[in-house]
Chain A
Amino acid sequence: MSSLIATASAAEQQQTHQTTCCYCGVGCGVTATIENNAVVAVKGRDDHPANFGRLCVKGSSLHQTQHSPDRLLKPRLHGNDVSWDEALDYSAKKFNDIIAEHGPDAVAFYLSGQLLTEDYYIANKLIKGFIGTANVDTNSRLCMASAVVAHKRAFGNDAVPGCYEDLEKTDVLILVGSNAAYAHPVTFQRIVKAKQERPQMKVVVLDPRRTPTCDIADIHIPLAPGSDAYFFNGLLSYLASHNHLDQNYIEQFTEGFEAALEIAQTQSGSVQAVAQVCDVAAPLIEQVFALFAKNEKVVTVFSQGINQSSSGVDKGNAIINCHLATGKIGKEGATPFSITGQPNAMGGREVGGLANQLAAHMGFDKQDDIDRVANFWQATNMAQKEGLKAVDMFKAVDEGKIKAIWIMATNPVVSMPDADFVKRALEKCDLVMVSEAIADTDTAKTADVLLPATTWSEKHGTVTNSERCISLQKGFLPPPGEAKHDWDIMAIFARKMGFSEGFNYVHQAEIFREHAALSALDNPRARAFDISAMADISNDQYDALEPIQWPVTAQEPKGTKRLFSDGYYFTPSSKAKFIAITARLPVQPPKSDEVIMNTGRIRDQWHTMSRTGTSANLLSHTEEPYIDIHPDDAKRLALAENELVELSNRGARYLGRVKINTAQRIGEVFAPMHWNNKYAASSRADALVNPFTDPICGQPEFKHSPVKIRPHATTWTGFLVTTKDLQPACDYWAKMTSDIGYRYRLAGVDVVDYSTWLKQQYPEVTDWQELTDSEQQHYRAAGYCNNALVVVFNAEQGKAMPQEGRWLDKQLGGELDDVTRYAILAGNEGNGGADDGAIICSCYQIGENVIKEAIVAGCHSAQALGETLKCGTNCGSCIPELNALIQQIEASV
């Protein structure tokens, strides 16, 4: 009976919840299984329109990244644990003091696409409506800002016309600057499936790299970095000269075509001209132009390769121009499609969480909009102009113009261009507030006030994905420690600043209803973003919100798949606008001794790894920072596979392993953007990125940084397998997580005495096991605390990487017998771990266990043992022991 009861209660403890993944802009629905207050399993939600049951490797590991040992659990003020009141009283007073003395533009918020729409809404309302500055920007600036402005210029509003289904239903899918296979894996899988079902569907990839996305491409255009606008200007010229324009559409629904075409023809009037700038064979380009021209259903997906550029807005418009000129927009399988990076970049845009937006698709360019929002909020100090965008914001921090900054849910010390500059700027800022789930991110280390925030599975609110689909990210676990929701932290802070009205929410749904009501003000047909039909949803309806694509209005209560199908745009003339694009190459061409560094994602990591880095599974795919480099460049620079290489720019260095890869163009290298000071010594690729930005939207040029390159001056290499999370004092290290502890690969430039070096890293260890070599070719050591293994260190002279066995990982923390202690330094288990036993015959080194086996096998005298094993046949001193063993075994038989 009792066992039955136990089973029943266990089943009761297990619950499932529908939620949304917290990683990329695909926005997959997730079914999470909870047991004993922990997520024990996740699977793709079958009925979610973004993924229909699929999940990528990051999403599938969500439950493995739930228990970070580095979770921030209490507020900290200058490094000391304090109460919420203490932390926020201090911060609010400091904010007020700074504003009183220097004005509201001396403070700023820096937000994140990880925040939920409700968080974003409160941040935006507080700083723009009450503090009185628009100095609020977000890491979406690094990701989406170009597309946002391109949309606004062409459509009058920031609105993605199409939906994921269009990617499946199209006949020609052009992916530009998008490694969807890694960055949007579930969307990519949908494309793969669509192409399998309709092999006639053509896939074209425009990317300087032959990425894994090219695996399904019919045509790969390995164009020169940054030459995209020349390509699409060329396409526009081609469409005109080959009579593939949709004159009706152009006349009825657009304006500005002639000017756009004229510049396009001037710059890219022929396929040859395009081929030259793009550095791609003309026939290949013409093939793609013809595909675009001759098919009705064409989708152009563009992502960071377009956005992260000093001319990203123009590139976006060059693409949109081609779709407008052929009427390939607002129809099934025909649309330009900007795919976002972050889970809620779109939600942030909806509430206006960027310095150059207001709220609900309103802007600072219209006084009516400013007043409308001010009235709605009953704002006490409404901002009247745009604020500083990300790069300029940190510049203002550095110059002392901004004296207080509150960073939420993001890690700009790693992710911003010229990230070392950002770090220095923050270090001298009067007040740095950081809201974080993880205690020791590179940015958290710069915080005066560190506030514990909830994270995925605890946070409750909405996110919007790349196809305008609003989904609930559900909170089903209680916040750990003293962690609070971001919106709640800001609301308390607002009240402490003295804003008693306007921030008294008790449920997220109240915020959402307010947001929906604002979207409805003086709409419809004024602004694309309209969720007026949701302004009155109940708390219960909100808590059970099903995915829905905006606009959600009385006319379209179930949401809207496609925008602009009727040719109505949200511009003053209600017509879409062609933008005349003068294509530009990246700001700084490489010098003769430089290569172009491109940055991007790897498959299994998310952003700066603060969550995905804690999963041993996710880190095992790509364990160390690396660069991809063409074989010819590797040869020219005498770089060998797996050797460490050093990229440098602006006084910053990126160290990574060489991966020789024909997918790279000559003269260009690729470096992943994820690594940071928590996971590697000197591998923050973004620290090398020049702070060149798009003049219109302020998005940085992440994809094109001329850098110096040389082999790393490695003199020794090694590894640490350890229970301790440390920053080893050597020129290069990279950290990997294992189930028990960490693995570090190391490389040193300075010759060190390994033993001394190691003991400096581990002053707490006194029980050492060591292997030394007078020539310093080899060194191995293991350290124990209370008999438990805490560290294994191997070092070798030279560049060859010693191989650390995974077996070592599992020995950490254990108490080890003598044989295993040997094995630890050997680095492997040995041949099955057979133990000969204590030596009985010293002369021939015959062990007790071997002798016992021989006795059991039939050696019944010392002489017989001697004939079989040689034991006792030299000095004979072991013969009494041999006889004793024989007696012992025969007695026991």
Chain B
Amino acid sequence: MENLLSVQNLTKRFGPVTANDGVNLEVRKGEIHCLFGENGAGKSTLSSCLYGYYRADSGVIRFKGEVAELNSPADALRLGIGMVHQHFVLVSNFTVLENIIVGSAETGLFLTKSDARRKISELCENCGIRIDLDREIWELSVGEQQWVEILKALYFGAELLILDEPTAVLTPQQSDQLFRILDGMRKRGLSIILISHKLREVMQSDRVTILRKGRAIATVETSETTAEAITSLMVGHKVNKHVRDRSVEPTGEVLAVDRACAIGEWGEDILKDVSFNIAHHEILGLAGVAGNGQKELFETLMGVRALSSGGFSLEGELITKPTSREMLDRGIGFVPDDRFLEGLIPEFGTAENLILGWQRAREYCRGPFLDRRKMDALARRKIEEFKVVTASADLPVERLSGGNAQRIILAREFLHSRGLLLANQPTRGLDVAASEFVYEKILEKRASGFAVLLASEELDDLLRLCDRIAVIFKGRIMGIVRPEETTLLELGMMMAGDASDVQRTVQ
């Protein structure tokens, strides 16, 4: 088959960091080609070079057999390379049609919408996209907005479409729809580069190029390999996935949330009648598309956001007007989703971050003074126990990788918490090995009797780790289900707010 794009020996450096190191890549006409790798493996850099956003330090990019000079995204577009970013670039009070033709060279001074409309309708039909061209962007779901981005690229004549983590913001159903559309495009001879770190999606592509530490390790035909093989290639070794120990049964009740409501800045409901409970030895999963109230739920439980009504009790004791101080003193561990914003002081080293929240605790102080010796001893112990890679206990944590930063937060929270752990997206942005380390530690806490609230966008992870899974949509709990009694389809429907058939809550 003919190669639409071929990349030879592409190298891109950022200062001392080599993001792409002699990468070779060939994309055929009419295939879905997946770039697969952990965070920092060089996927985004590579695609940015292909899209003309970065200039490669060395290497040759050929498009349709000719050497492509990509100095800007405009060059890429002119050649026929389009990109759909994770964050959409749409004007929210323009219609779909207007968004697509805006900036196109053919419009000239006056917009000739009728020609454009005909052309776009044709594109829609060919790719199986059903969308009303006259609706304004703000009326559309996230999935539909993504279609508009795709249409925009196609309208500009893209023959190669690069999609950067396209399903990060979608429900499973929306992802399926997206893949049906991509399939339609492939059949029409368009090529697609799909950047992903989700195995489920990778397996739907034609070929996969696995990147590791900036190098292209291998390109394989998806039909001739397995998910396990691809994962091993990505990580460089075999990965053991942890599952919960089913012989340990949840007992009692640690946290009980009762009809908790919270109201946002403009009077909108952020949390509406949220009720659930968590027992000792239990992990309650919290599933939902990002931005449906998960963050706010954690914030209310940590006492940094006020409830408008309802409340919660801890170990049977009703908590009224909590403060973060009180919740920490009651032994709640909290792993925030944005670790550098909410969990760490970036300019502080490991030693000081390990006592954040406890800088006045008797363990680390002598009167008003910090006990540096105790802090340093603690840091040495925890750096070893949690395998934190840092030059010294005083190196600012802003210079550490996300995985190492997360280890510091976990070390701190596990040390100071008693009974309840709140973990919001604890593996966000972490590679497979680091994620499994986090899960292993959380499962250890479950075994020791902790109640754990674990929010994640990785449904597969929730299914193997959690005793029950609560699904949240627009601030409401759509239902609480057991992993062994549910399916991805059912979870996906609940995540999309369609719970008419499945709404149920198990205790």
- Are the chains A and B members of one assembly? no
Point out residues on A near B: beta carbons under 8 Å.
none
Point out residues on B near A: beta carbons under 8 Å.
none
